[in-house]
Amino acid sequence: MDKVVEKFIRYVQFDTKSDFSSEACPSTSKQLALGEALVKELKAIGLQDAEMDENGYVMATLPANMAEVTKTIGFIAHMDTSPDMSGANVKPQFIENYDGGDILLNKEKNIVLSPKDFPDLKNYIGDTLITTDGTTLLGADNKAGIAEIIAAVEYLIQHPEIKHGTIKIGFTPDEEIGRGADKFDVAKFNADFAYTVDGGPIGELEYENFNAAGAKIVIHGRNVHPGASKNKMKNSILIAMELHNMLPIAERPEYTEGYEGFYHLNNFNGDVEETALVYIIRDHFKDRFEKKKQLLIEAVAFLNQKYGEGTIDLQLKDQYYNMKEKIEPVMEIVELAKKAMLAAGVAPNIKPVRGGTDGARLSYMGLPCPNIFTGGHNFHGKYEFISVAAMTKAVEVILKIVELNQ
């Protein structure tokens, strides 16, 4: 299983940061470099049909090696990393036999990964951890998933005594900006069901996720010299602050957990004349999701009435929905993953995703697609880390899912 680590370290050298502002697919051409490398590797291990399409989607097939007909399983991961932090020049650090204490990621900048801030570290005492050097994210989201899928497929090819049905592999671009399923060809993929290998800590098994919307808001002010501005100036920054404070404080991400939804102010940029805000709105329950959107609409309407029509422009767009509705009719695929985890010595932790995955969109496109763990923690930032033992278990779980699909 050392191969999964070698693959992971190789993949994180590719800078695949996606870009919200780009309309291209993929949003950044550098994602194609990793896609090309993955196609070459898949062909080298024995998958003859590996290819990447013009939109940067990689697909391949491991044919069945038994006569009995079983359902075709897919395994999916995404190639891009989050725009939240740089994914260039990643320098992974290995912490062997972790002792449960603070980890100095970067001496020069005094950046410390501490169990005081991240208690989950205590679960990995004695393990080998892979961390960042404090200047970039690591890329376990989702290059760990790619490494785990390819390591499992390579193992199956090298061990033909393990009987299995047809296995489909898919690697997508732009998941981090909500577009990973936009151009995914479900018919071409041709699987009965799939799993995204895109979860966090060991044992995660998820078939519920947020309903999601994105809001882009532009507030138009009026700048006048402050010395002569009475009854004339309209400060767009202050109107933006007023709008933000009309949303429930307790429904911000830092105050929510479990099934609690939120409004997240993701970007704020402006001056007196014009201010732009970007929100993401999330909730597991459709009725609460609709109420959250409606509250924002009403707040904007109120402020437009107060400050004049056209003061605030709101673009509100649904992004994806809770896949629970599409998974519940086929709960046997969740049970299959649960049995595989138990067989691999992993305690299943079935919980809602406090985010989204390609699997949410794909489930609504006709490909039921729960999510399983990669072993990573603290995605999207410099404190990201992953356990080598957890990565190995993820590979074992993929293999057990294949074996049990009889």
Catalytic residues: 80, 175
**Residues with Cβ within 8 Å of residue 169, at least 6 apart in sequence:** 42, 47, 50, 58, 59, 60, 61, 62, 74, 75, 76, 149, 150, 153
Residue 175, Cβ density class (10 Å: 0-12 exposed, 13-18 middle, ≥19 buried): buried
Contacts of 198 (CB under 8 A, 6+ apart): 76, 77, 78, 141, 142, 145, 175, 357, 358, 359, 371, 374
**In whole angstroms, what is the distance from residue 26 CA to residue 81 CA?**
12
Angle, nearest 10°, between helix axes 30-44 and 140-158? 10
Q: Are 393 and 202 in contact (CB under 8 A)?
A: yes
- Alpha helix positions (H), 168-235: 186-189
Return the structure tokens found at 240: 């933006």
